[in-house]
Amino acid sequence: MGHLHAYGLVLLRSAIWLVILAIIFVPVEHLFPLHRVRVFRKEFAVDLGYYFLNGLVLAVVLGPPVAVIALAAHSLIPGGVVSAIAGQPVWARAIAALVVGEIGYYWAHRLSHEVPFLWRFHAVHHSPEEIDFLVSTRAHPFDLMWSRIVMLTPLFALGLVNPMRVTDGAIPAIVLITGSLWGYFIHANVRWRLGPLEWLVATPGFHHWHHAMGMQRNCNYSTMLPWVDRVFGTHHLPKTWPDGYGIPEPMAPSLLGQLAQPFREPAPASAAETAAPAPTLVLARTAAPGDGT
């Protein structure tokens, strides 16, 4: 009964957050749409199912594997490095954690495109042909666990987060919540461009190219900090917008079918293997009316 009560609280909290997200994003996507997409679009119910399923996965399953892997990694880091980091104020460690977490996520995400086994799970996220804020939640639980583990492990291994300090409990929460909220924003169906700020923070224009059908898709892996892509040579942000989204391989239409598909079918070619050369733009249209630079 205790477990059922805990699961119920997780679902209730997720439902409350969903209402808040809808209040924010539905009007914005209606007032500033990039594409004319209905609120209850194709596969809306599937993405809604992923939203609640993955909320449970993060709350119930994520902790133990991160703790085990982080403990093993922590033993490999020189004690002097850990001590120096631990001596920094909380605000400095929080900023460092955001950067380190972003770099960790970048490589987890990039490998999900370049390794065929990982791509068969990550392809679920790239399968929607219509993009809005809720697409951010479409992720196979295996893919979600993989990216979160790679993102969080260095935070514990480097001592940026010490689970024995009460004040440090807020740091991984800040990293996860900030990344998740920004993920909704960069998937949103809005035509906003932020000019020079796009060099500093990821935007819908930045991430929509990552989802483009016919595009190389080996670009723009970061969630919040696009300069990480610049450092590793994968940044791509023209002034145009993609004309379509999705993947060439077939994807099961139902939630259960998508959860099972990566386990029962051979891995498709990874995104990197099927990619066009990086400088090539295959599908693009001129900026929507009202777009900035």
- Quick check: is 83 in a domain? yes
Whether the per-residue pLDDT at 30 is higher than 80: the answer is yes
Residue 169 and residue 166: Cα distance in Å, rounded? Answer: 6
Rounded (5°) CA angle 55-61-66: 115
Torsion, Cα of 22, 28, 32, 33 (10° steps): 0
Q: Are 21 and 184 in contact (CB under 8 A)?
A: yes
Whether the per-residue pLDDT at 17 is higher than 70: the answer is yes
Residue 12 and residue 130: Cα distance in Å, rounded? Answer: 27
- Quick check: is 240 in a domain? yes
Q: Are 74 and 157 in contact (CB under 8 A)?
A: yes
Q: H/E/C letters for each residue in the chain? A: CHHHHHHHHHHHHHHHHHHHHHHHHHHHHHHCECCCCCCCCCCHHHHHHHHHHHHHHHHHCCHHHHHHHHHHHHCCCCHHHHHHHHCCCHHHHHHHHHHHHHHHHHHHHHHHHHCHHHHHHHHHHHCCCCCCHHHHHCCCHHHHHHHHHHHHHHHHHCCCCCCCCHHHHHHHHHHHHHHHHHHHHHHCCECCCCHHHHHCCCCHHHHHHHCECCCCCCCCCCCCCCHHHHHCCCCCCCCCECCCECCCCCCCCCHHHHHHHHHHCCCCCCCCCCCCCCCCCCCCECCCCCCCC
* pLDDT confidence of residue 275: 52
Could you tell me the pLDDT band of residue 73, with boundaries at 50, 70 and 90?
confident
Nearest CA to 231 among 122, 95, 102?
A: 102
Whether the per-residue pLDDT at 149 is higher than 70: the answer is yes
* pLDDT confidence of residue 167: 53
Comparison of pLDDT for 278 and 132, the residue scoring more: 132
- Quick check: is 180 in a domain? yes
Q: Give the least confident one: 36-45, 93-102, 173-182.
A: 173-182
Could you tell me the pLDDT band of residue 262, with boundaries at 50, 70 and 90?
very high
- Quick check: is 244 in a domain? yes
pTM (two decimals): 0.83
Neighbours of 56 (CB within 10 A): 15
Residue 138 and residue 50: Cα distance in Å, rounded? Answer: 5
| Structural domain of 194 | 2-264
Stretch 129-148: mean pLDDT, rounded?
94
Query: Facing residues of 187 across strands?
Result: none
- Quick check: is 82 in a domain? yes
pLDDT digits (tens, 9 = 90+) for 80-93: 777 787 777 877 88
- Quick check: is 150 in a domain? yes
- Quick check: is 9 in a domain? yes
pLDDT digits (tens, 9 = 90+) for 162-196: 655 545 556 667 777 888 889 999 999 999 888 88
Could you tell me the pLDDT band of residue 283, with boundaries at 50, 70 and 90?
very low
Q: Is the dihedral of CA 37, 239, 281, 108 positive or negative?
A: negative
- Quick check: is 276 in a domain? no
User: Which tokens go with 173?
Assistant: 């929460």
Whether the per-residue pLDDT at 290 is higher than 50: the answer is no
Q: What percent of the chain has pLDDT over 70?
A: 83
Could you tell me the pLDDT band of residue 278, with boundaries at 50, 70 and 90?
very low
List C-alpha distances in Å: 66 to 83, 158, 183, 249, 281: 21, 13, 21, 32, 39
Query: What's the structural domain count of the chain?
Result: 1
Whether the per-residue pLDDT at 27 is higher than 60: the answer is yes
Stretch 213-239: mean pLDDT, rounded?
87
* pLDDT confidence of residue 49: 95
